[in-house]
Amino acid sequence: MTKFIIIIFMLFGWVASGTAWAQSWSVYGGDDGGSHYSSLTQINRDNVADLELAWSYQTGHIARYPKRPSFFAGFHVTPLLLPEQAGRSLVLCTAYNRIIALDPTTGEERWSFDPEMELGPIGLRFNCRGIAYWKDGEASDGAACQHRLFMGTRDLRLVAVDARNGERCHSFGDNGEVNILPMVVESYPQFKRGQVHFSSPPAIVGDVVILGSSDNTKFKSAINPIGYVRAFDARTGALRWRFDPILRSSSDPETEKQTEDAPAPIGSANVWSMMSVDAERDLVFLPTATAGANFYGVHRPGDNRYANSVVALKGSTGEMVWHFQTLHHDVWDDDLPAQPILVDLEKDGQKIPVVIQLTKQSLIFVLHRETGEPIYPVEERPVPTDGIPGEVLSPTQPFPTAPPALGSTSISPDDAWGLTLWDKAECRQKIADWRSGDLYTPPTLQGTITPGISQLNWGGAAFDPASNILVAPLSRVPGYIRLIPLSEVDPDLLKGRTAGLPSGPPGRIEGTEYAAEFGPLLSSFGVPCTAPPWGELVAVDLGDATIKWRVPLGTLDKVAPFGMPLNWGTALAGGPIITGSGLIFIGATADEKFRAFDLETGKELWKISTPTASMATPMTYEVDGRQFVVIASGGHMWSYPQKIADYLVAYALPEN
């Protein structure tokens, strides 16, 4: 039982214009709008059970760096299939930013490019979710770098290589790369390696390459980098524009205010997730994050207007077109985690160009793509405002009236659950001792129980244009946040390596008088304090904004005693894709399985064991008359750390 308890705890990662639907997959999300949809139909409901392993490939990135902890190397990439004229290779990036090109039919390596990255301190995490492909319409056929791949690196470079052979594009920047580190240091002189990095693929509008960034400072500091989104010329690497998500104009009435004793100018509201593009309208859509710090906003009163927002910019110039804020003055770390989905939605007999934005709170906002106006009404509802002293919280928060929230929006002691009466009572007492209630109950000195942690995340959702059905993986685990005056915290705890990390001891929030502790709400047995399923796959009909079905996602056979396949759902990381034959493919679970579901009913039609947990988003393509479905299988630092690997696996129907 002890081993079961420990592994369960590890399993959930809580230790210290209309879219052109893809036949291939040359963009991270299947198309510029991130629908994660393919019109391919060779694999269908009748034959999906016959899928078998077509090939398997190991990147070797773990073996290359044996002295670095393997669980810091995340392999969550979604590969791209390049067009015929670009070499028809399957291309991907490793955790350490090596670009690899494979034969899409056999998995044999064709070429690789190593940016020779400076790895820095041992404790840094590495991850590359994808790269971007671009064709230079002005270059002559066959010219070097007519077809380019762009990637942001962990050490703050934007690199460009020839998609056909992996050679550097020498005309881009300095020998094929732009060094963005000086740009970061200019606005944030106290920068330390690892605080800002790139993990998501760039977005491309016309001849402009657009890059967001991840910010690792916000859990532990109120002194944060500016979350600039930067755009570069795809041919030369010249900086074309940059967008600051914190409004600072002295002439604008919505300019962000800050207190006189603020430790630094307001920072972050960065874009760490994937962006989407409407090339016809020259628009790029940004899902912005929290302004710093994550759980403390005394120094940044007001809504923090562009943070936690869908922001539409002109791709060519960076000019603001519209924005819609999904959360005012965030102190819960509920930034926008998922790629905005751009589709034409059929509603009331009309096709409407929309943006679909998922939030960590399990809410779905459906907005008009040209104006940002809600398609389904959004209402401002009263929420609690009594947080820590000095925190000026918004008296209301936006809630879509439809579709309904996919997950939990409230929690009370009556929601407590346990494997036994003893741990159920323990969980009930934990919830009763701390503050609990509805969504947006603020962090307090008493401690606050939240209905869920990142219920929807970077795996996002997939959309079927034929049925208007949206499918998303949903985590259903409560959490806790507590702010503690520094005078009440043991100084030795603040020095620990896990201080300020999920489920770790309190970590100091630099620039404030507080430390913060947070994580999932678990019993002493290491299981969530609310009833399973803890992971689900949920389908929403966006035509009438109703939930169509929901099923548990993931079994506990890898962690339960005697391998019992309890269908209670697991920790999730990664997303789904949908095909034209009405199939959903998804890994994402902590049980080393890859599955196919029926889009119409949610019935599981196929599953297969993978080398480890496949916590990535798959993709599909057809080459030489054979359809392949491909997914990265690498485990996960938090959600499946017990088996880290570096496999890319492809499945197809038998050749005969």
Integer Cα distance of 354 and 375 in angstroms: 8
Integer Cα distance of 366 and 433 in angstroms: 37
Do 625 and 605 meet the contact criterion of CB atoms below 8 Å apart?
no
C-alpha triplet 648, 651, 656: angle, nearest 5°: 140
Question: What is the SS3 assignment for 471?
Answer: strand
Question: 486: which 2 tokens?
Answer: 């520094």
Question: 440: which 2 tokens?
Answer: 């947006």
Integer Cα distance of 66 and 18 in angstroms: 47
Integer Cα distance of 609 and 614 in angstroms: 10
Instruction: Determine if the peptide bond prior to 403 is cis (ω within 30°).
Output: yes
User: CA dihedral in degrees (367, 356, 349, 584; nearest 10)?
Assistant: 180
Integer Cα distance of 518 and 272 in angstroms: 21
C-alpha triplet 568, 570, 573: angle, nearest 5°: 150
Question: 183: which 2 tokens?
Answer: 């740009």
Integer Cα distance of 222 and 388 in angstroms: 15
Question: 63: which 2 tokens?
Answer: 């073996």
Strand pairing partners for 25? none
Spot the catalytic one: 162, 333, 464, 646.
Answer: 333
Burial of 183 (0-12, 13-18, 19+ CB in 10 A): middle
Integer Cα distance of 360 and 474 in angstroms: 10
Burial of 108 (0-12, 13-18, 19+ CB in 10 A): exposed
- Mark whether 333 is an active-site residue: yes
Q: What is the DSSP letter of 556?
A: -
Among candidates 587, 627, 626, 628, which has minimal Cα distance to 610? 587
Q: What are the b/e assignments for 352-368, b being 16+ CB within 10 Å?
A: ebbbbbbbbbbbbbbbb
User: CA dihedral in degrees (134, 138, 140, 142; nearest 10)?
Assistant: -10
Tell me the catalytic residues. 333
